[in-house]
A and B are shown apart, each in its own frame.
Chain A
C-alpha cells in the first residue's frame, strides 16, 4: 500500500472536470463526469475495458472534444483554446500512450530528442544528447539509445514512452494503462517508476488502469469509472477493498489475489 504523500495540495485542483459528456453515435461513453485532481497527487482511474478511460484522458489532452461540460487543465478550458494556446498547454502535459506510440522509424535516442529539438531550439546537439541520456538513465534503459522501437520488449517500450514525455519536464503526467500486458515483475518496475516520477518531479498524475496492483501501489486516490461516471472516489481501501458495490466487488475478487 502506498504511503501518504506530503506534497499533495488538497485545495489546489490542477485538473477540474464538470458535467462532462461524450458519445460516439449511439455509444454514450461518458455521462456526467465530475472530478478534481489535486496538485501533486497520483489519481488512479479504475474501470473495466471499454468504459471510456482512454477517451477521458484524450479529452484532457485535447485529442478529443467533449460533447458538453468543461475540462479545466492548469486553469485553462482545454476545448476553448486556440491551436497555439493548446500547444503551449500541451508542453506542460506528458501523455504516455496505452501502446507506447513510439515513432517506429526513429531510434530510441531520436524518439526522445524529437520533442526537445522542436521546443528548445537554443539547445546544442550536445545538450540534447545529455538530456536524452539523463532521462534514459532515469528509466534505466541507457543501453537502448541506438535501438529501434521494434527491437524493444513491451516493458522497455512503455518506459521509453514515459521517458519521452519526461524529457519535457511536464507538470502533469497522463498514463494510459501503464502496466497492461506486462508480467507482474515488469509491472512493479513501472509502478515504482511512476512513483519515482511523482517524487522527483512533483508531478500531478492521472493513471488509467484496470490493474488493481498498479492502482494500489501508485494511487493516492482512486476513482472508479462505472456506467459513464465516477460513483466512488477515495483511497484504495475505501473504494475497493471495503466496497459494497457488487460491480466493484466482482472486479476486485476476479482481479486481485493478495
Chain B
C-alpha cells in the first residue's frame, strides 16, 4: 500500500510547490504592472478614499482588542523575570522595544492579511467570475487601475497608521498594568518607555508596515483578479490571498530585521 501512495503524495507536493513558485513569479509581474499603471492619470480619488476607509474599518476593532490585550499580557508575563533582578523599573522600556520594534508591525500585518486580504481576494474574485471585470474592460475603463491600484495604495498607506495606532494602544495596556503595580504616572511611563526607542526603530517599523501593506494589497488583488473556476475559485482566492500574504510577510520580516540590525549603531 505504502509505496504507490507515497509516490503520489510526492507528486502532489511537487505540483503544489511548482504552482507556488509560479504564483510568486506572476505576483512579481503583477507588481511591475502596478508601478506602470499606478501614477498615470486619471487617478480614482473617490475609490482610493473608499478603500482607505474599508481597510481601516475592517481591521480597527480587531487591532484595538489585540493590541490592548497584548500590552497587558506581555507586561504581566515579563514582570516576574525582571523582578528577580529587581529590575521592574525597566519594564516600560522593555515593553516598548518589544511592541514597537517587533510586535506591532507583525501583528497588524497578520490581522490585516486575515481581514483585509481575504476581503480583497473574495471581492475581486467574485467580480471576476461574475464578469464585472470584463464589463469594466469592455466599457473602456481600465479595471486594473480602478480596482487593483486603489486597493494596493489603501493597504500600503493604512498599515503604517494601523501599526502606530496599535503601538499606542498596546503601550496604554502596558501602562495600565505598570500603574497598577508600581503606581507609575502616565508621563513617567511614556518617558521611560521611549528612552530606548530610536528614530531608526520608528523608521524601520513604519517601513516594514509599508512593505507588509503593499504585499497584502498586491497578493490579494492578484489572487482575486485572476480567479478561475467560478464560485469555488472565489473561496480559494480568498484563502490563498491570506496564506501567501502571511508567508511573504514572514520572509520580509526576517530580511528587514537583518538589514536594520546590520546598520544599527
Contact = CB atoms under 8 A, between A and B. Distances in A.
Interface stretch (A85-93, A204-212, A219-227): A85-93
A175 interface: no
Contacts, number: 51
B63 to A, nearest CB: 24
A74 to B, nearest CB: 14
A165 B138 CA distance: 10
Interface residues of B, number: 15
Interface string A73-115: 0000000000000011011010101110111110000000011
B255 interface: no
Contacts of A119: 140
B140 A63 contact: no
Given A101-B131, A101-B132, A104-B130, A61 B141 contact: no
Q: Is the interface of B mostly helix, strand, loop or mixed?
A: helix
A163 B83 CA distance: 73
B40 to A, nearest CB: 12
Interface in B200-243: none
A115 B134 contact: no
A61 B137 CA distance: 9
B138 A95 contact: yes
A101 B134 contact: yes
A114 B141 contact: yes
A101 B135 contact: yes
B141 A118 contact: yes
Contacts of A44: none
B130 A63 contact: no
Contacts of B131: 97-99, 101
B45 to A, nearest CB: 12
25 contacts: A61-B138, A62-B138, A63-B134, A63-B137, A63-B138, A88-B140, A90-B137, A91-B140, A95-B138, A95-B139, A97-B131, A99-B130, A102-B132, A103-B132, A103-B135, A104-B126, A104-B130, A105-B123, A114-B139, A114-B141, A115-B139, A115-B140, A118-B141, A119-B140, A168-B139
Interface of B: 42, 123, 126-127, 130-132, 134-141
